[in-house]
């Protein structure tokens, strides 16, 4: 019953892809109870396709355990994939060592959510930034290191730079540290930034400032950016394209405006209903099960149907037995696609009103 459409990203955009994931998958082997044979498989990511282009942002949205960080770690080459491949400037990236790996790490920078964990507590900011400049910095830039350090801190809006360079991480606030962590990624002159929930550990009052900074950098430095978040409202603000992940699968993707204004997958609808927006009226997230538990990776024993079927208020028999085909939400050119039987003409007629 396949429609012949797949979840591949839109092609034909002006910018060439910088970093791509093609059919990317990761299955972890974890130890399980001795009675179950001792080992268990966790399918964290399955068949993920995404394309990052200079100056634009793709958001990966989903609740905890849906596989977002695993995608980031696969793209950063911190983990080897068990299926599919990563391509940088169109060329497949295989397990790299030595200089090749160093060049890759410089070009594809990962920013983590916890700035306290990502900076070394025993070294000053000056030491940590200088080290990255030496290892990965732009070799064609012959200015004195001090000048580059001041420029980096100015770029992340820490003024005056001298006040921060000789400090240790524990002497700075969370927001200042995340700015330093951003400066450290920029010191490597990257072409790709992978942002794994970059503001989720910061005070709500300073999140917007950091997001604005990152949005400005993407424009000025023409970075290809992956923005990982569980907050679809911030993805709409920040990204050009949204990919919604559930249990390791991309279940809906498309231009941010279209996915958030016309969500087709019941899980995307749930995410939107769960996003804090006092002005919105309508269904309460709790009506369809609420967000929180249940987004974890599928185990090997999971059924073959839609990963969301057991939580879905509109589930039909086919949803429990067969992985949904991918279908277009609007016209093909719009690039808004969903993996849901409700959107497939052959099965949509079977849909009933939500079960509670």
Ligand X SMILES: Nc1ncnc2c1ncn2[C@@H]1O[C@H](COP(=O)(O)OP(=O)(O)O)[C@@H](O)[C@H]1O
Closest distance between Mg ion and the C-beta of residue 312, in Å? 23
Among residues 225 and 347, whose Cβ is nearest to ligand X?
225
Structure tokens of 37? 């044979």
Positions in 321-340 near Mg ion (CB under 5 A): none
The answer, yes or no, to whether the previous bond of 312 is cis (omega within 30 of 0) is no
Residue 312 contacts which entry, ligand X, Mg ion, none (Cβ below 5-8 A, type-dependent): none
- Give CA–CA dist 38/329, Å, rounded: 43
Positions in 140-199 near Mg ion (CB under 5 A): none
Closest distance between ligand X and the C-beta of residue 211, in Å? 19
Please, which residues have CB within 8 angstroms of residue 313's CB and are 6 or more apart in sequence?
266, 287, 288, 289, 354, 355, 356
Q: How far is CA 170 from CA 121, 156, 161, 166, in A?
A: 7, 19, 17, 12
Structure tokens of 12? 């034909």
Q: How far is CA 69 from CA 64, 73, 87, 248, 334, in A?
A: 9, 6, 18, 10, 28
- How do 192-196 and 224-229 pair as beta strands? parallel
Closest distance between ligand X and the C-beta of residue 235, in Å? 14
- Find the part of the chain contacting Mg ion (CB under 5 A) among 20-28, 63-71, 219-227, 273-281: 63-71
Residue 30 contacts which entry, ligand X, Mg ion, none (Cβ below 5-8 A, type-dependent): ligand X
Please, which residues have CB within 8 angstroms of residue 98's CB and are 6 or more apart in sequence?
none
Q: Count of residues binding Mg ion (CB under 5 A)?
A: 1
66 forms part of the interface with Mg ion (CB under 5 A): no
Judge contact between 202 and 210, C-beta under 8 A. yes
Helix (H, G, I), strand (E, B) or coil at 334: helix
Closest distance between ligand X and the C-beta of residue 46, in Å? 11
69 forms part of the interface with Mg ion (CB under 5 A): yes
Residue 272 contacts which entry, Mg ion, ligand X, none (Cβ below 5-8 A, type-dependent): none
Closest distance between ligand X and the C-beta of residue 115, in Å? 17
- Find the part of the chain contacting Mg ion (CB under 5 A) among 65-73, 184-192, 273-281, 288-296: 65-73
Closest distance between ligand X and the C-beta of residue 64, in Å? 4
Residue span 10-49 as binding mask against Mg ion, x where in contact by CB under 5 A, dash where not = ----------------------------------------
Judge contact between 347 and 316, C-beta under 8 A. yes
- 120 by Cβ neighbours in 10 Å (0-12 / 13-18 / 19+) ranks as exposed
Among residues 84 and 296, whose Cβ is nearest to ligand X?
296
Among residues 62 and 324, whose Cβ is nearest to ligand X?
62
- Find the part of the chain contacting Mg ion (CB under 5 A) among 54-62, 64-72, 77-85, 342-350: 64-72
Judge contact between 107 and 190, C-beta under 8 A. yes
Closest distance between ligand X and the C-beta of residue 249, in Å? 12
| Chain residues that interact with ligand X, rule: CB under 6 A | 28, 30, 42, 44, 62, 64-70, 296-297
Torsion, Cα of 70, 71, 77, 82 (10° steps): 80
Judge contact between 335 and 10, C-beta under 8 A. yes
Among residues 112 and 223, whose Cβ is nearest to ligand X?
112
Determine if residue 228 is left, alpha or beta; phi over 0 gives left, psi from -120 to 50 gives alpha, anything else beta.
beta
Among residues 68 and 336, whose Cβ is nearest to Mg ion?
68
Closest distance between ligand X and the C-beta of residue 78, in Å? 10
Residue 70 contacts which entry, Mg ion, ligand X, none (Cβ below 5-8 A, type-dependent): ligand X
Residue 208 contacts which entry, ligand X, Mg ion, none (Cβ below 5-8 A, type-dependent): none
Residues of this chain that interact with Mg ion (CB under 5 A) are 69
């Amino acid at each position: 019953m396949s429609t012949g459409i797949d979840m591949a990203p839109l092609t034909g955009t002006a910018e060439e892809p910088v970093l791509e994931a093609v059919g990317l998958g990761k299955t972890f082997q974890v130890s399980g109870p001795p009675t179950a044979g001792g080992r268990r498989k966790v399918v964290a990511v399955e068949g993920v396709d995404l394309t990052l282009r200079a100056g634009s942002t793709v958001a990966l949205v989903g609740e905890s355990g849906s596989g977002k960080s695993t995608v980031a770690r696969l793209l950063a080459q911190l983990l080897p994939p068990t299926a599919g491949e990563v391509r940088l400037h169109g060329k497949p990236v295989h397990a790299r060592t030595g200089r090749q790996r160093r060049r890759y790490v410089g070009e594809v920078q990962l920013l983590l959510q916890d700035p306290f964990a990502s900076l070394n507590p025993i070294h000053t900011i000056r030491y940590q930034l200088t080290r990255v400049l030496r290892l990965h910095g732009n070799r064609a830039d012959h200015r004195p290191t001090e000048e580059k350090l001041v420029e980096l801190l100015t770029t992340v809006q820490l003024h005056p730079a001298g006040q921060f360079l000789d400090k240790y991480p524990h002497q700075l606030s969370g927001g200042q540290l995340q700015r330093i962590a951003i400066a450290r990624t920029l010191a490597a002159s990257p072409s790709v930034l992978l942002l794994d929930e970059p503001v989720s550990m910061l005070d709500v009052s300073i999140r917007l400032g950091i997001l604005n900074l990152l949005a400005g950098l993407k424009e000025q430095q023409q970075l290809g950016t992956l923005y990982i978040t569980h907050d679809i409202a911030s993805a709409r603000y920040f990204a050009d394209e949204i990919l919604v992940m559930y249990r390791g699968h991309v279940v809906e993707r498309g231009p941010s405006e279209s996915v958030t204004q016309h969500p087709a997958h019941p899980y995307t609808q749930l995410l939107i209903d769960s996003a804090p927006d006092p002005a919105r009226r309508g269904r309460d997230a709790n009506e369809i099960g609420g967000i929180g538990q249940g987004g974890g990776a599928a185990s090997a024993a999971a059924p073959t149907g839609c990963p969301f079927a057991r939580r879905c208020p509109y589930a039909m028999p086919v949803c429990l037995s067969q992985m949904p085909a991918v279908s277009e939400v609007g016209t093909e050119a719009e690039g808004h696609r969903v993996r849901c039987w409700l959107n497939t003409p052959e099965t949509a007629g079977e849909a009933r009103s939500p079960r509670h």
